Amino acid sequence: MQKHYMDFNATAPIRPEVVEAFVRASQTVGNPSSVHGFGRGARRLVEEARRSVAALTGGRSQDVIFTSGGTEANNLALKGSGRPHVLVSAGEHDSVLQAEPAAQTIPLNPDGTLDMAQFECLLSSLPETAANSILVSVMLANNETGVIQNIPEIAATARRYGALVHCDAVQAAGKIPLDIAMLGVDMLSLSAHKIGGPQGIGALVLTPGLELKPLLLGGGQERRRRAGTENVAGCAGFGVAADFAVSHLTDTQRLADWRDEIEIRLTSLSRESKVFGSAAQRLPNTSCISMPGVPAETQLMALDLAGVAVSSGSACSSGKVQPSHVLRAMGASDAEAASALRISLGWSSTLGDVEAFVDAWSALYRRQEGREASLDLATGSIA
């Protein structure tokens, strides 16, 4: 059976050019910290990649810290800033929410955007002595709904209170333009495998002059901001993926057209289905839609048997299917949140993938509507 992969927000298929760069770099001999020719060759690959990642964000190469992924980048930003007063949006990835569990949570509006009035209220409620000891962390684009936050406005508001601003841009990279200066943030998190790069490599990009306390100690790598021998092959692959992300941004229009087509066809069939975040600006590749009365787990299994891969939200919950904290923060009921799927497209998506998903989803809906759907958990088949 042909497989239709529509879960790019979990991880994007690695680009062939990235594989080539990764393999070449993995065969390079030498530690990037060594001063001999072999070491200098490895260092050259790392620094070339650093320049490419910097170009993706409009930042400077010397302000790019390579990490093991977006999770480490987020943890480094929150824990490394050393600021005791932390505010995070209610829709953040768990790597932010769990990095600072005592952080104050900024509510979301029903459309998934940040509640700016409540944000200002939280900032103003902090004691005057909190000035210059505040950290605000708000993601640029939500991984489940695709909703894009007005980060320049959020950053400008935070700065009036002397706050540092961190932005998780993991899902936004390669889908919308990035510019750390225009966003007005101090720190920007990235992950290579969301843009067709290898897994296990990410970056935290800083504004010039910002100093962080490292999480990992034991060496002078990454300008003493992250100890440990650099992942040379991962960096090289990340650099190539970043180059493609910059040069192929215009390709996302076709993804937006396909996303809209999916939503039109599904909501025409199921009037009670809801597209979460549709009233806000969203990523061009992402749709989060419910099938009321049908648990997401049932939908996922049915679609998987039909050869279509989607998800019910973040892929970072050990494979568990549970109501989304993001949707609940937007005011969705537990039942609504538990019946929602995330469809995410990307560089290798085709119209055939879209058709396969719509056909499989529609077939499941019609069976459910006619009360004919039954799930045989023992055999894993849909009757």
Q: Which residues are catalytic?
A: 316
Rg over CA atoms, the chain: 21
277 token code pair? 């975040």
Q: How many whole angstroms separate alpha carbon 231 and alpha carbon 169?
A: 21
**Helix (H, G, I), strand (E, B), or coil: what is residue 289?**
strand
Q: Give the end-to-end CA distance of the chain in Å, rounded to a whole number.
A: 18
**Measured between alpha carbons, how far is 91 from 141 in angstroms, rounded to an integer?**
10
8 Å CB contact between 71 and 94: no
How far apart CA 210 and CA 208 sit, in angstroms, is: 6
> Tokens 């993804």 appear where?
255
**Helices H / strands E in the chain, number of each:** 14, 13
Tell me which long-range contacts 116-123 makes (C-beta under 8 A, separation of at least 24): 116/153, 116/154, 116/157, 119/87, 119/154, 119/157, 120/157, 122/87, 123/87, 123/157, 123/158, 123/160, 123/161, 123/163
Contact between 128 and 162 (Cβ < 8 Å): no
Cα–Cα dist 168/95, whole Å: 10
Tokens matching residue 328: 């609940």
Contact 113, 223 (CB under 8 A): no
| H/E segment holding residue 64 | strand 64-67
